[in-house]
Structure 1
């Protein structure tokens, strides 16, 4: 039995979450292969070959894979699936788009958001916004699973020396085609992989007030995040949303400002190593998971904290 990890990349480097998926695959004590697809993905394949624990890299190159179109990637994964017992993807937006298509084409039930590999056919995953952990057993000949990146330490990006094998691109005549995309450019760290995250909630009151977090994030070298309530109110862009329907993060430090701590939000950040909460409501649920809490007016507390930092 062999595991195939479907890589996510930018054409040059692997997405960090793919290294977490490789680490999860390594828990099975089976050979780990990595599938890299792209219009010009040789550099990404070379990066995958250097990852520790990878036995082989399969490189499929074709214009149909431009920008990682989910249908094309899924068709390639299905074409390769005959030789594999497990197909793993990171539980990113891309992985969550590709994996259901792969599972449907293989006529198997997908195992979503795996946080622990118990056995080759048995996995643990969170349910009810992380308030319960479910153990599931797959009875299918191929296990298609998405891996929650925050639950596994990433495989080392260097130290491997896997062979790269070029494979033919699978036919996908009726697949979607990439036309264009708009990318939000930011000098701040990526929210999904940042070491420090500063998040704001509805307590900030307005988009203008949300800017109060900028100096704090600047001093901490942090990514900016937001609760769903803040995003829905228009205080912050959608790609800043942290929570069950946003991004799952597990930084070294998570600073929650004006966030009450609804279950939906806690599901996205409670695995952070250290959580600091600032809220005027001492009974806010966020204090139940916080390592450090400050009850007070955030409009006084945040500038004071920012000024005190070196």
Structure 2
């Protein structure tokens, strides 16, 4: 049998999460196909075909897919299930929305947030906010998995010896139960949170939206992405698209700098796999110090501007 990866993209480039999902799929030891749906995606299909480790690229090009909805994609992907033993998606908002719909249409249970592939039907996934790791066995004929990309690596960047075959699918568009109204994109010159090598996150102790300029200035000097705890997001200091934690994004950068973050278990679940963790907090008993590799007990309003000035 074969493995199918559902690609996530912005109509121009494959997202890094898709390439990491490819790295996870290779552990299954099966031929791998990639499914790409969108509008005017010819170049995107060719780019995917040049990536090593891909057997075939399936493209579904339709003008109505310029904004793809899970309600539209799920029935089409479910109809392909007879060809595949595994369907993989990244554990992004896109994957978490689409995977359970595919699984329901296939009549199987989805396995979410896979962090290790033991065999073709056994996986490890975190439970209780990452405080325990469950080993689960799934004997369904078609297995739908979401991959926690912070636990895997993308394959080498060497191009394929020969491009994968591209098959353009001719599929009638299902009845649309939803329609696209508007999209509002936030633009930033900073790295994306999911793929950043360095992340600087601020917590409730930052105090206000205006004070978050300290975090932005420090991050810009480091070439880092900006994140935040849920407390900071709930307080309105920063948008929820930058929330790190159990109910936000799960990240694993080379360096994670937590500023004014106490270290609630829900936040730790989203960043504790970072290679190096640095904590700045004026409370020496803050839980964040229990996972930090380096800790600084200091007033963030004094420490952060001083460090920024020295960079």
TM-score range normalised by the length of the shorter chain: over 0.9
C-alpha separation in 1, matches of 2:182 and 2:123: 37
Structure 2 unaligned blocks of 5 or more: none
Residue 220 (str. 1) matches residue 212 (str. 2): no
Task: Give the equivalent residue in structure 2 for 1:167.
Answer: 169
> Partner residue of 1:65?
65
The alpha-carbon deviation at position 156 of structure 1 amounts to 3.3
CA RMSD of aligned residues (A): 1.2
In 1, Cα distance between the equivalents of 2:171 and 2:68?
A: 13
The aligned length equals: 309
For structure 1, which segment, 99-108 or 150-159, has the greater mean C-alpha deviation from structure 2 after superposition? 150-159
Change (3 A) 1:42 1:156: farther
CA contact (8 A) 2:45 2:166 kept: yes
Deviation at residue 157 of structure 1 after TM alignment:
4.4
How far does residue 80 in structure 1 lie from its aligned partner after superposition? 1.3
**Corresponding position: 1:296 with 2:298:** yes
Measure the CA separation in 1 of the matches of 2:200 and 2:37. 34
* SS of equivalent to 2:216: helix
Alignment match, 1:36? 36
Shift of 1:261: 0.4
Match of 1:129 in 2: 129
Residues 250-308 of structure 1 show CA distances to partners (whole Å, capped at 9, x for unaligned) of: 11111100000001100111111111100001111111111100001111111111122
Secondary structure (helix, strand or coil) at the match of 1:182 reads: coil
1:102-113 aligned at under 5 Å gives the runs 102-113=102-113
Distance between the aligned counterparts of 1:13 and 1:201, measured in 2? 32
1:179 offset after TM fit, Å? 2.7
Provide, for residues 83-107 of structure 1, a one-character-per-residue CA deviation record: whole Å limited to 9, x for no partner: 1000000011101111011011111
Instruction: Show the counterpart of 1:181.
Output: 183
Q: Matches of residues 56-95 of structure 1 in structure 2 within 5 Å?
A: 56-95=56-95
Instruction: Give the deviation of 1:175 after TM superposition.
Output: 3.6
Question: Is the contact made by 1:62 and 1:169 (CA closer than 8 Å) also made in structure 2?
Answer: no
Give the superposition deviation at 1:144: 0.3
What's the offset of the Cα at 1:203? Answer: 0.9
Superposed structure 1 runs of 4+ greater than 3 Å apart = none
Aligned to 1:153: 153
Cα deviation 1:115-154 (Å, max 9, x = unaligned): 0000001110011111110011112110000001111101
Structure 1 segments unaligned to the other structure (5+ residues): none
